[in-house]
Structure 1
């Protein structure tokens, strides 16, 4: 590939890295923020939660805005806002200001990844998409894993404002390069803004994600503050399903799901989200509760999986362009299942080298199971449909991660009465099941790619 393509992929990956890093870097600094801003830990928790919920809230608008101003322009605007608000967060005088600024930061961060994927896909075309998506995958995978480690080091040697000031040099450099090299994309008439659809998705998605994150708390079943958001989220998303099917100009075009390969890829992306992002919480608890590590050590021990992913991604990018995403996702799913089963069988005092080898291999399997699936989804649609496709794939991956994390936490919490070892064995068997479902859907994707629709679906312009 020409050097300009790698340069573009690297610039856009830097935005994805910042978005993912800030989703986890703050967690280890909440104690310090609580003390220095004179608040309670439950209030300070909203510095993290507000960001994550805002990320989910902004996703539905990404496709429409990309068509309205161009995906590249949207990416640049989001990166500029993210960087400027990072400075403001560092100088927030009160906890209220910090939470409010983190919400604004999350709104911009939520669109960085899908807008970047859209800009990248439209610029490079389908034949090279696998390789450039692998570059983006390194950032998406590595950033959340590095967040707790970097955050712990920052708090150890500095103060909490540096959790946000770290973003500034990277964001400023990426913005300067982006202004010069990122294609702005085609601005056009995206049609009338679907206000009802926006309301349904902007309410349904974040409250559903929020409900899932609370699901693992003790006594969550039957609590109105957990059941309420889940019920509202499901109802709002179901209402959008009906609205989106019959609306002349829906916010997200659900007709894309008529394409068999796209349908299989998005389902696989949801299960992969559970196996990758949902399992992150389970493995963190495994090291902390099961093996007695502190949070910083737990973060360091989890890097083995990220290293496996980073090592494998460049190879998966080349292979997916040659063979398609389905076969690679099927192989990655099988590796993920095989390397997760031992965690459901091993003693909690198993040798560290065994655990790290398994994590490394599991990370490599996830590299083949996650990003190739997204590439398959984007190859199944036309360039003009990429904004909707990128938004939908990211939504389903986010929901899969939240649902998986909630289920694994509930299973673990309900089994801890029998002791840590049987509890973790049970939870890991559930993770094996989720990974197996992802593998089965990858097999479906493989068949769909071998007997594809005659051409990527094309629809009349919306408006």
Structure 2
């Protein structure tokens, strides 16, 4: 059993590094939530259709997915600090340019470039922190960093609503500029220089296979969610193409030693089980984030902004379990993951009782419980993923973790939209409420399924560098 030693405490230099990176990492997280809330208002202010303006979000998402596979190689080839400052600078410039866009077409094009920058930022941020923290302090450091992921969904809808209600849509993008400028200044002054760790060339064949594969899968699942099923060619064609390319890449990567992703990491049980958990978490985590706002709007008649704000208790719950990272460092990831998943399961079961008159206090309490469980489990899962890996494995592992999270979120969102569509059999409020209750039972089932890989996690963690 690992115990925190005096030498394992979070020193000021590590806290400063985490703080500098969190400020920069907050920009793309806030941007995504603000833009998603503002799409309907953007369509009116830019005098275009909702279908067209959706590409402001979809274009960003696809570019984000396509850029992630190259992040591990780039961090090793050019140095993580250099890649971080490059991507942050590009995000700043494209935010300013998007705010000055002259029509919807130019805005979509700029959002695609912005998505490339955003796709690099989160994996590189995580790579720097994992390497700096080491195995015995990782849980506590990740707890600090995930504060940004907790805060963004709460602040984003509020900021987006205030901007559209009181000023020009352009400030949806201009709001990133001061945050990025502060992050760049702090990075220039305080981030330690990190020399390149490899001279190997980029695996172009792997990128050509994997990046379009991820884009096809994410786009196909987005279309599935938009149209509520797999019945349209717009959804199935890119999804099938993406899955075929992904299969080809897996066959290619399994045989190539210097592939863009080192698939041999999946032989490490702690990493492979954590990766599966992060994929399955997409079904559970996005359950409430997707279903409850729709329930508030379609059954209770609330506005989109109000519905978004009513998700705040889940963020509050996540804040209440900030101690989980410290405990993970002391006793290992497995007990924290199991406890967190069971707590999230209890909150999810409570959501299966939604009806036409379900009280907001009841749902708020359920979200606090869910948020507490998911907050604890997520930090422990990511910490456990690195438990048996070496420092050299970190960039590859971080890239794969990000891909599993993204695919899990996309599959989870699409699956739940389809389930909700089929569960809602009538147009009355009672029928709609019953459909949401049924869909939450499916979320409960997915949450139970996540317990299986959690049980297969090693009970004790080794220090990275040990024999596998």
Instruction: Say yes or no: does 1:83 pair with 2:92.
Output: yes
1:435 to 423, 440, 447: 447
- Check conservation: 2:228, 2:421, Cα contact below 8 A: no
Query: Closer, same or farther in 2 for the Cα pair 1:389/1:9, shift >3 Å?
Result: same
Aligned position for 2:315: 306
Instruction: Say yes or no: does 1:156 pair with 2:165.
Output: yes
How does 1:58-207 map onto structure 2 within 5 Å?
Answer: 58-207=67-216
2:384 to 376, 379, 384: 376
Instruction: Say yes or no: does 1:393 pair with 2:369.
Output: no
Whole-angstrom CA distance in 2 between matches of 1:9 and 1:379: 20
**CA-CA distance at 1:377 after TM superposition:** 0.9
* Structure 1 residue ranges without an equivalent (≥5): 459-463
Aligned position for 1:450: 460
**CA-CA distance at 1:176 after TM superposition:** 0.6
Range moving further from structure 2, 129-138 or 22-31: 22-31
Aligned position for 1:334: 342
Whole-angstrom CA distance in 1 between matches of 2:193 and 2:254: 31
Aligned position for 1:461: none
Aligned position for 1:405: 413
**CA-CA distance at 1:31 after TM superposition:** 3.3
Whole-angstrom CA distance in 1 between matches of 2:61 and 2:340: 28
* Structure 2 residue ranges without an equivalent (≥5): 1-9
Range moving further from structure 2, 107-116 or 210-219: 210-219
- Check conservation: 1:19, 1:110, Cα contact below 8 A: no
Instruction: Say yes or no: does 1:253 pair with 2:265.
Output: no
Query: Closer, same or farther in 2 for the Cα pair 1:452/1:433, shift >3 Å?
Result: farther
How does 1:347-362 map onto structure 2 within 5 Å?
Answer: 347-362=355-370
Whole-angstrom CA distance in 1 between matches of 2:433 and 2:49: 33
- Check conservation: 2:270, 2:385, Cα contact below 8 A: yes
Query: Closer, same or farther in 2 for the Cα pair 1:24/1:63, shift >3 Å?
Result: same
How does 1:263-342 map onto structure 2 within 5 Å?
Answer: 263-277=272-286, 279-313=288-322, 315-342=323-350
Whole-angstrom CA distance in 1 between matches of 2:178 and 2:64: 22
**CA-CA distance at 1:430 after TM superposition:** 0.8
Query: Closer, same or farther in 2 for the Cα pair 1:219/1:376, shift >3 Å?
Result: closer
Q: Could you list the per-position Cα deviations for residues 24-79 of structure 1 after superposition, in whole angstroms to 9, with x for gaps in the alignment? A: 21123223332333322211111111111111111001011011011222112111
**CA-CA distance at 1:435 after TM superposition:** 1.2
Query: Closer, same or farther in 2 for the Cα pair 1:225/1:424, shift >3 Å?
Result: same
Whole-angstrom CA distance in 2 between matches of 1:126 and 1:281: 34
Q: Could you list the per-position Cα deviations for residues 387-409 of structure 1 after superposition, in whole angstroms to 9, with x for gaps in the alignment? A: 00001011001111111111111
Whole-angstrom CA distance in 1 between matches of 2:162 and 2:461: 51
**CA-CA distance at 1:242 after TM superposition:** 0.4
User: What is the RMSD computed on CA atoms of the aligned residues?
Assistant: 1.8
Q: Could you list the per-position Cα deviations for residues 269-319 of structure 1 after superposition, in whole angstroms to 9, with x for gaps in the alignment? A: 111232223541122212212322110000110111011112312x01111
Aligned position for 1:50: 59
**CA-CA distance at 1:442 after TM superposition:** 1.6
Aligned position for 1:423: 435
- Check conservation: 2:332, 2:461, Cα contact below 8 A: no
Return structure 1 stretches of 4+ with deviation > 4 angstroms. Answer: 451-458
Whole-angstrom CA distance in 1 between matches of 2:50 and 2:349: 36
Whole-angstrom CA distance in 2 between matches of 1:428 and 1:410: 13
Q: Could you list the per-position Cα deviations for residues 218-254 of structure 1 after superposition, in whole angstroms to 9, with x for gaps in the alignment? A: 4632311111011011111111110110013100000
**CA-CA distance at 1:184 after TM superposition:** 3.1
Whole-angstrom CA distance in 2 between matches of 1:246 and 1:222: 36
- Return the TM-score normalized by structure 2: 0.93
Aligned position for 1:208: 217
**CA-CA distance at 1:186 after TM superposition:** 2.9
**CA-CA distance at 1:427 after TM superposition:** 0.5
Aligned position for 2:232: 223
Matched position secondary structure for 1:427 = helix
Aligned position for 2:373: 365
Whole-angstrom CA distance in 2 between matches of 1:53 and 1:21: 18
**CA-CA distance at 1:453 after TM superposition:** 10
Whole-angstrom CA distance in 1 between matches of 2:381 and 2:331: 12
- Check conservation: 1:317, 1:372, Cα contact below 8 A: yes
- Check conservation: 1:23, 1:144, Cα contact below 8 A: no
Whole-angstrom CA distance in 2 between matches of 1:284 and 1:48: 18
